[in-house]
Amino acid sequence: MYASSIPQQIGYNHYKHYVSLFLSNETMLKQQFIDDLSAAKTPDEVEQVRVKYLGRKGLITNYAKNADFGKMTPEEKKNFGIVLNELKTFAAESLQKAIDTVKQSSTGTKNKLLDLSIPGSSSSLGALHPITLVQLEIESIFEGMGFTVLDSPEAETEYGNFESVNIPSDHPARDMQDTFWLQNEMVLRTHTSSNQVRALKRFGAPFRGIFPGRCFRYEAIDPSHENTFFQCEGLMVDKNISVANLIGVMKTLLSEVFHREIKVRLRPGFFPFVEPGFELDINCIFCGGKGCPICGDGWIELIPCGLVHPRVLEFGGVNPQEYSGFAFGLGLTRLAMMRFGVKDIRYFNCGDVRIYEQFNVFI
Ligand code: DAH
């Protein structure tokens, strides 16, 4: 058989490089097979060669199917059968050898002794999240001042998130906090303040505690807004607690976080669960209070706070005639941004360990 009689159906174009007037079709097919197989370097590539030649529509398979037996003499038929079987056997055995070879070289076992001096592959440990680092620091500072650290639920009842902190359903303050509602009518807490009443009910007065945790708001995300962020609520209730106690605790906290004395100022601020309510600003740590692009006028708004509203004490079962207290809502995410100089809040939730690893030098 010669090239001119290669049946078209077996893909003449496939092996046109081998078309020769002097070589038989089987020889050219065999040569093409050998070339393809020696180019295969992985088990997958060897498998592709097998399919190409011995698969259901493979070149060798089709070669037999398309042979024109009608035009062959009995002698030619017999020879064709012998040649074809040899070709198939050759292809099958070569494929098996090739599989063994590529498997061995891909596992690296071929002719290799175990080399105990090769360094092992180390496992990567991950890193604490920068907000976790700040949270741990805050927890230990407050523990040093006699505060208990309490865990609390992220899904709250409507009463817990709003009413218990003096925000009834018709109160305009509800609009300050856009909320994710769950199907069971709970809310993803918009702040950690709901723990004030929970803690007073459970532990009574006097009480000192902080409640760090994740909060959620329906926010459009940009470099300074996130829908998922961390706060740390703090509450101290005792006899004769005043604004002086609040300022003292806040100054201690800030000087420990920033490792120096920090000047603070209080401005009036409205929050339904404190009376009076304040915005506590710190003297800008970037410019020292002169004014810069980050602070504007030399002050940075950092901790909303105030004296616990008598209604909240009552909700918690504590007598406001006997006890008073202060509360604050520290933005842990915001503090982490300032502490580590992170300019875009979105880094915190991106899940990329390469970002988080950079902060572990601070531990
Ligand atoms: N819960 C408030 C918020 O997320 C923050 C806050 C303000 C907490 C004043 C307080 C406080 O304890 O006294 O916006």
**287 CA → ligand 1 middle, Å:** 27
**Nearest CA-CA partner of 42 in 106, 118, 137, 96:** 106
pLDDT score at 18 = 39
Report the separation in Å between the CA atom of 167 and the middle of ligand 1, taken as the mean of its atom positions. 12
Pocket perturbation via mutation, ligand 1, pick of 200, 328, 335 by most ligand atoms within 8 A of CB: 328
Contact 183, 155 (CB under 8 A): no
Which of 152, 161, 193 most suits a substitution to test ligand 1, by most atoms within 8 Å of the C-beta?
Answer: 193
Closest by CA to 214, choosing from 273, 142, 131, 308, is: 131
Output the CA 281–ligand 1 centroid distance in Å: 14
Residues with CB under 6 A from ligand 1: 191, 193, 233, 271, 274, 277, 304-306, 327-329
Q: Which of 329, 268, 273 has its CA nearest to residue 302?
A: 329
Tell me the CA–centroid distance for residue 14 and ligand 1, in Å. Answer: 75
Q: Which residues contact 303 (CB under 8 A, 6 or more apart)?
A: 250, 279, 280, 328, 329, 330, 331
| Residue 294 to residue 292: CA distance in whole angstroms | 5
pLDDT by 10s per residue, the chain, length 363:
333 333 333 333 333 333 333 457 778 888 889 989 988 888 889 999 999 999 998 998 888 787 777 788 888 888 888 888 889 999 999 999 888 888 777 665 555 667 778 788 777 777 889 999 999 999 999 999 999 999 999 999 999 999 999 998 888 777 777 889 999 989 999 999 999 999 999 999 999 999 999 999 998 899 888 999 999 999 999 999 999 999 999 999 999 998 888 899 999 999 999 999 999 999 988 888 898 887 889 998 999 999 999 999 999 999 999 999 999 999 999 899 888 888 889 999 988 888 888 887 654
Compute the distance between CA of residue 14 and CA of residue 31 in angstroms, rounded to an integer.
12
Nearest-angstrom CA–CA distance, 135 and 333? 9
Q: Whole-model pTM?
A: 0.67
Residue 227: the pLDDT is: 94
Does residue 113 sit in helix, strand or coil? coil
Amino acid at site 202: R
Predicted local confidence at residue 107, as pLDDT: 62
CA distances from 259 to 6, 172, 183, 249, 255 (A): 86, 39, 45, 15, 5
